[in-house]
């Protein structure tokens, strides 16, 4: 007769499991410590600013240099700026990522371009603002406008789009490409019909990061197209406009006799705009992830 043998963990295995539990608890504690400031900030904004977040505040134009009235002009201007920034950054960033991932050879030029992209991501926003003034306001002749401000935001966010898209393209299994090439498909047909559809979730991740940064930036738009106060809604891309981020700075530091809750309400609205845009992108990203075949 055979007897059942009970396998027990050796002292070495028990020590490894204990270390693993400690590390798991440590990582959980770090995660909670990172969440606590975010929750506290959001709680303060909701507590102080929710009272002013009314339909009238959203649909009324500002008055008295922003000390009174609503936020309609700045809200619409923020949507314009973000939409045009995405219109510029996404096609250029995706195209650059496709070239670097699918066409470019591994040589000194490609490595130099990759280093330049990483360095560009670390350039302070004020430097991008000065570049936008020289390149778009004066050299391209856009003047101080939504077009110049959006182009500056696009240049600033391009590295994020390129890196996230390239990593998503490279995550697609190379066997997919081999199968297409063996069936006689060209490189572009493979990219268009196989690689891009299976990397859509990663591209949308880049879009989410772009929206988060573009909506919250102040310096690049302050010098290129956003204004302190304007009651008229923009009608063309060559108009100047107000923006939520700049308006928040103004009502917090530059304008007198502002009700106490107004800066908190503007900040809360800014966060809600970012969350709303991100929610749409996350929805489509989840749908695309469900279509993956690996």
The domain spans of the chain are: 56-289
**% of the chain beyond a pLDDT of 70:** 95
Low-confidence ranges of the chain (pLDDT < 70): 1-7, 289-294
Q: What pLDDT does 176 receive?
A: 86
Q: What pLDDT does 1 receive?
A: 46
CATH class in words for 56-289: mainly alpha
Label each residue of the chain as H, E or C: CCCCCCCCCCHHHHHHHHHHHHHHHHHHHHHHHHHHHHHHHHHHHHHHHHHHCCHHHHHCCEEHHHCEECCHHHHHHHHHHHHHHHHHHHHHHHHHHHHHHHHCCCCHHHHHHHHHHHHHHCCCHHHHHHHHHHHHHHHCCCCCCHHHHHHHHHHHHHHHHHHHHHHHHHHCCHHHHHHHHHCCCCHHHHHHHHHHHHCHHHHHHHHHHHHHHHHHCCHHHHCCCECCCCCCCCCCCCCCECCHHHHHHHHHHHCCCCCCHHHHHHHHHHHHHHHHHHHHHHHHHHHHHCCCCC
Mean of the per-residue pLDDT values of the chain: 87
């Amino acid at each position: 007769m055979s007897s059942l043998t009970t396998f027990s963990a050796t002292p070495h295995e028990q020590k490894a499991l204990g270390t693993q539990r400690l590390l798991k608890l440590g990582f959980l504690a770090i995660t909670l410590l990172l969440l606590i400031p975010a929750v506290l900030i959001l709680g303060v904004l909701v507590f102080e600013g929710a009272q002013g977040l009314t339909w009238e505040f959203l649909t009324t134009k500002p008055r008295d240099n922003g000390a009174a009235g609503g936020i309609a002009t700045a809200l619409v201007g923020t949507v314009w700026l973000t939409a045009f920034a995405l219109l510029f950054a996404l096609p250029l960033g995706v195209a650059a990522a496709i070239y670097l991932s699918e066409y470019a050879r591994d040589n000194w030029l490609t490595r130099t371009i990759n280093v330049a992209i990483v360095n560009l991501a670390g350039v302070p926003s004020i430097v991008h603002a000065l570049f936008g003034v020289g390149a778009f306001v004066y050299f391209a002749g856009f003047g101080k406008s939504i077009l110049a401000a959006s182009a500056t935001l696009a240049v600033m966010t391009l590295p994020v789009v390129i890196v996230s898209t390239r990593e998503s393209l490279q995550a697609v299994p190379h066997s997919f490409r081999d199968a297409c090439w063996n069936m006689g498909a060209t490189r572009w047909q493979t990219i268009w019909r196989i690689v891009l559809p299976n990397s859509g979730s990663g591209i949308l991740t880049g879009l989410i990061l772009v929206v988060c940064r573009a909506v919250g930036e102040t310096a690049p738009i302050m010098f290129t197209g956003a204004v302190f106060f304007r009651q008229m809604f923009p009608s063309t891309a060559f108009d100047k406009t107000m923006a939520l981020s700049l308006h928040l700075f103004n009502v917090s530091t530059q304008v007198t006799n502002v009700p106490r809750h107004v800066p908190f309400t503007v900040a809360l609205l800014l966060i809600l705009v970012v969350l709303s845009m991100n929610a749409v992108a996350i929805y489509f990203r989840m749908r695309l992830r469900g279509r993956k075949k690996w």
